[in-house]
Structure 1
């Protein structure tokens, strides 16, 4: 598979509103074999506890990703010219069976990992990240930089249900997929169910940067600390769009006011270059609550930022 065969459709030849919708207008391929980075969809929101709709996220992110061009305006990097990237489609899901979907998602991402490609996914609700971590961290725990309004380390919901979009990282730590002392959560805010809701997360050693601290210190200082915490080991990056202020990303299931700006988020993602990123995702884009595609565009743009960082790392590796 040659890089020349994996170029986006040229918008000067085929307008952005025409052609088949794929991530970044890249070719859609049946297998991740030979790719450096595999873009894929997670069209599932079976872990959602209130406003469902993130299952439609990958399709709308693909649509709005037609606005991405070939080069990064800050770094000058042209990722599609230096690494092999393609859209490998959506992982298989079962919209009426939660446990079966978790198995299907894990299997789909495991195929990407086995092929030697780095998975970069579009969700889907945040429970999707648990089976992704099962595939990515199968042989050793990984660190994680987590952008979110919520810690997602609660135990159970609605009695003894352990699998919701509010529990994935508690399960991931319990399963040995995450090294909690190498986990940083940025942007946490909003009302809580009870005092001490985050006590378990703190006890495991997770570094939680609440929004109030983020505002006081600024994005540059916060992301430098995050990089120091995850260090040189394998690291997963997960970006929940509700980490952003809902004025900039209204199309999400659990919005919280007072969030990160898109500009601050871009700055932080760009500074992740040099980390050992073994996978990443952008989740909780819920088109039924979106306004004129604004949140889907945010999701596509954050995917492009992550793609450029991962591509730069690949180039640095030689």
Structure 2
């Protein structure tokens, strides 16, 4: 009987509410969203005040694109708009072997980039006020349950962004520079596949990391198809597929333990050379830069891709990562090494393995990741002047 009375009261109440709204078609009825008036409903004599617009936007304000770049829907078919440097996010962390969370890396890096706006004194350029059009394309949509399918989606979207119409003075279009926000390091493989398709040749890769990332699945007893691709072996597959240059691609900052003593020989057989983190004690920072230049070759002949795993930095300065290794480079040292590549044709880059759940409240790792991208963006723009 209680439920019968409640039902009667509820129904009666609804009838009364609807009746009470008769003649007020723009007011919300219970269970409906408010109806927004269209332009035809604005009174003719509507007098809106004129805002005193300031051209300055505080760094902490605004929607989080990378460094306040304009957002462009690069993945939408039919949108043909030119750009010189495109930022894309790949929030993929299906391939992580230890601590997950890098899927939140792109949003954290964008948030950490809010204060980046101006002139790079070391590179002598302001990348945001130059010949180059920079855009943020947002994040690649992909299915987060099937690793191989997701990698195919990342590859397809990266290829799409790398295509653009020729400029008026060009017969053949040159691909824009690509900046990818990871995600775990597995994303390097589909991005390099896209780069190879765009440039029709292998790319020289400098891989900044504490780990080799050339694990061989057949040696480490990885049998499941889904497990063949993970953040420990993108460069193994890339080398096998002919995406990287043999003998001029390299690792910088390596310091982790190995599975066995043959790891280095297998890595060298894939065409990689190495500068270890501990080499800084014997070479010094300047010596490390010179060794890198010696390996990758002259500026005129090199298409260069920089892949930065944030764990190349010591975890005391970059704690927010999935597989931290003690004894890494300092932020100041890595920035110096990167600036030593000024003048090279850097066609693409990524920063990966930023897992913000492990960061400090001061967002140290996110700020660092954004700063490293700013340095490389500056060099991309400087090269094109």
Higher mean Cα deviation, 188-197 or 44-53? Answer: 188-197
Tell me, in whole angstroms, the C-alpha distance in 1 between the residues paired with 2:182 and 2:345. 22
1:142 counterpart residue number: 203
1:258 counterpart residue number: 327
2:70 counterpart residue number: 27
Instruction: Check if 1:287 corresponds to 2:336.
Output: no
Instruction: Check if 1:101 corresponds to 2:150.
Output: yes
Q: With structure 2 as the length reference, what TM-score do the two structures score?
A: 0.76
CA deviation map 1:151-198 (0-9, x unaligned) = 100012563232010000000000010113111111101222222222
1:133 counterpart residue number: 192
Cα distance, 1:12 vs structure 2:
7.7
Instruction: Check if 1:121 corresponds to 2:169.
Output: no
The counterpart of 1:159, out of the listed 203, 208, 222, is 222
Tell me, in whole angstroms, the C-alpha distance in 1 between the residues paired with 2:54 and 2:285. 34
Tell me, in whole angstroms, the C-alpha distance in 2 between the residues paired with 1:113 and 1:124. 19
Q: With structure 1 as the length reference, what TM-score do the two structures score?
A: 0.92
**DSSP 3-state at the match of 1:250:** coil
CA deviation map 1:76-120 (0-9, x unaligned) = 311111111111111122211101111111111111211231101
2:340 counterpart residue number: 271
**DSSP 3-state at the match of 1:301:** helix
2:306 counterpart residue number: 237
CA deviation map 1:208-259 (0-9, x unaligned) = 1122223321222212221232222212111111000000000000110000
Cα distance, 1:260 vs structure 2:
0.5
Tell me, in whole angstroms, the C-alpha distance in 1 between the residues paired with 2:145 and 2:267. 30
**DSSP 3-state at the match of 1:178:** coil
Higher strand share: 1
Tell me, in whole angstroms, the C-alpha distance in 2 between the residues paired with 1:58 and 1:49. 19
> What are the ranges of 5 or more consecutive residues in structure 2 without an aligned counterpart?
1-52, 75-79, 165-174
1:4 counterpart residue number: none
CA RMSD of superposed structures (Å)? 1.7
Over alpha carbons, which structure has the higher Rg?
2
Query: What does 1:74-113 correspond to in 2, within 5 Å?
Result: 74-82=122-130, 83-113=132-162
The counterpart of 1:45, out of the listed 66, 88, 93, is 93
Cα distance, 1:205 vs structure 2:
3.3
CA deviation map 1:273-308 (0-9, x unaligned) = 121211111111010111121101111000101100
- Higher relative contact order, chain-length normalized (CA < 8 Å, sep 6+): 1
Higher mean Cα deviation, 14-23 or 156-165? Answer: 156-165
**DSSP 3-state at the match of 2:137:** strand
**DSSP 3-state at the match of 2:187:** helix
Tell me, in whole angstroms, the C-alpha distance in 2 between the residues paired with 1:235 and 1:15. 35
2:39 counterpart residue number: none
